Structure 1
Amino acid sequence: MLQTFILLLLQTAYVFGCGTPTVKPDTNRIVNGVDARPHSWPWQISLQVKHGSRYHHTCGGTLIGPRWVLTAGHCIWPGDVYRVVLGEHDMSQQEGTEQIRDILRIIVHPKWDIDHVANGNDLALLKLDKSPIMNDSVGVACLPEAAEILTHGTPCYISGWGNLYTHGPMPDKLQQALLPVVEHSVCSRSDWWGINVKSTMICAGGDIVAGCNGDSGGPLNCLGQDGRWYVQGVTSFVSSRVCNEVKKPTVFTRTSAFIDCILKNYENVMIYYIQIN
């Protein structure tokens, strides 16, 4: 039954237009992190936490269905109040493309343990109170096939509003950076991440470019052979010393390892896709 749901979801998501931004990402000149082309990653969201009477950016996330956001388990703390901002680019100003949604339900992976990050399962699903309006600034990313493994060196892109460098400032504008995939056999070497990286994770980068605080929960965007962008990873952790430590690539929860888990929690995403098509 679940495999049928997976097949239907993939088929209907294709019709819906996942992973096909109206504004094409600029992937030609990426050496280090740079400002992203506005709204070229329309599934990127800002997860914001309420402090006092105001909300502040705390993590990234990915819109994977009309009412569902994928983010990291470590971004969620019991008792905190969150909201999701879609269609965001420059946080220093109102651009008119922003859509704000409250969160109706939070599902953190049952095996996520904040005290044992290296055990994996750093994943959470957020159900929005209502669907955003899909347009040039807001869209959904594609989900990869279950168990898909990317080859070493596959060019992928991290996006987010995280610190520009260790203890550095947070940017106003959405950033992106090229992070080539580091295969598990390399990333798990003793002089890399060793036993801290599991097969349910995906490593990318490992040189002078990395994710940093505030990028957590955001997507690892990888272009598929069909020309669509897939969220192959959810930003999980970097070195505790500095964000861009050599041989310590950014580690992501590998989305393809959790497809069954994701679909079990939101079969109505598939139902929604069918209803609108």
Structure 2
Amino acid sequence: MRRLELASVLLFWAQLAQSVSIGSRVVGGQEATPGAYPWQIYAEGFANGQVVYGCGGTLISDRHVLTAAQCFEGAQIVRVYLGAHNVSATNEPNRVIMETTDFTIHPEFSTNYYDNDIAVITLPRQVTINTYIDVANLPTGGDVGSDFLGAEGVFAGWGSSDGINSLTSILRFSRNTVVSKVECEAHYGVNWMSAAKLCVETANQAGPCYGDAGSALIRESDKTIIGIFSFLDKLGCLNGFAVGFTRVGQYVDWINGIVNGK
């Protein structure tokens, strides 16, 4: 079994540590058109006044963002960028920034195998839905139990497009296809691949990489969330290995419990 790496980005002193996954990015993808993926958000976790993590996420209501648990464990405050295209710009006309202390990590999140790597951020107020800020949909009906084998989705995020551990500013995207659980088990090991996970190919060196944890693979036809990016191979994101996602359909009831309760 290959050693795995997390998909979140540690932004403080651990930037210098080779063992830490750094750099929110879609590697080998294309630059997105502003407003093309209005559900995509960028989030920073703060502890003791310092930014410690940066991750992606998906707006699922006018007050809630779906993301990965690994991004915010130990964080005290979360800053969310909505409607952003260039996150380094001093200001953008369509961007909204909110801070919150209200985020819920799945109670059974485990750092052993990164099971239940899912979290929900609750915004302090409703955001106005428009062309640049809009929601994606949780799985419903048959999609709740689906493994989405062979389904193609779009994946968006910020970061380096060349596999170097450095941040970049412009939103990028790739399109990737869900592969079989057997293929993932052969590569990562049976212990990692629970029923609540799935894998996505990264053909042509295009797809999610370090720091993109929390960003979602979305079926574009109906904006259904297939999975949340969670882990990748120790050798990185330029070797063509499949990468791992949390399968959102397994958690619809848990997510709705938070969304409907706040």
Judge same fold: TM > 0.5, yes or no. Answer: yes
Instruction: Provide the C-alpha distance between the structure 2 equivalents of 1:164 and 1:127, rounded to a whole number of angstroms.
Output: 30
Q: Deviations over 1:16-65 (max 9, x none)?
A: xxxxxxxxxxxxxxx94010111111010110234786768700000001
| 1:95-146 residue CA offsets vs partner (Å, 9 max, x unmatched) | 21111112241110111122x1x25100001110001111111000011122
1:202, distance to aligned residue in structure 2 (A): 1.6
In structure 2, the gaps of 5 or more residues are: 1-26
Distance 1:265 1:81 in 2: 18
Task: Map residues 1-277 of structure 1 onto 2, 5 A cutoff.
Answer: 32-50=28-46, 58-93=54-89, 94-114=91-111, 116=112, 118-145=113-140, 146-152=144-150, 154-188=151-185, 190=186, 192-195=187-190, 196-207=192-203, 208-223=205-220, 227-246=221-240, 248-268=241-261
Matching residue's letter, 2:195: S
C-alpha distance in structure 1 between counterparts of 2:53 and 2:107, whole Å = 25
**Per the alignment, in what secondary structure is the counterpart of residue 236 of structure 2?**
coil
The share of aligned pairs that are identical, in percent, is 27
Return the offset for 1:199. Answer: 1.9
Cα deviation, 1:131-188, whole Å, max 9, x if unaligned, reads: 1111111000011122122132x22121111332433332211010111111213322
C-alpha distance in 1 between matches for 2:152 and 2:224: 12
CA positional deviation for 1:206: 3.8
Equivalent-residue separation in structure 2 for 1:119 and 1:218 (angstroms) = 16
Query: Which protein is richer in helix relative to its size?
Result: 1
Rg: which structure is higher? 1
Aligned mates of 1:127, 1:205 — CA distance in 2:
31
* Paired residues of 2:30 and 2:174 also in contact (CA < 8 A): yes
Q: Which residue of 2 aligns with 1:18?
A: none
Q: Identify if the C-alpha distance between structure 1 residues 240 and 80 changes in structure 2 by more than 3 Å, giving closer, same or farther.
A: farther
Tell me the SS of whatever aligns to 1:238.
Answer: strand
**For residues 202 and 176 of structure 2, what CA distance do their matches in structure 1 show?**
8
| Letter paired with 1:180 | T
Give the Cα–Cα distance (whole angstroms) in 2 for the partners of residues 228 and 139 of structure 1.
13
Structure with greater contact order relative to length (CA < 8 Å, sep ≥ 6)? 2
The superposition leaves residues 203-262 of structure 1 with CA deviations (integer Å, 9 ceiling, x where unpaired) of 111432231122110111113xxx31111111101112212333x312110101111121
Higher strand fraction (1 or 2)? 2
Q: How many residues align?
A: 230
> How big is the alpha-carbon RMSD for the aligned residues of Structure 1 and Structure 2?
2.2
1:65 partner SS: coil
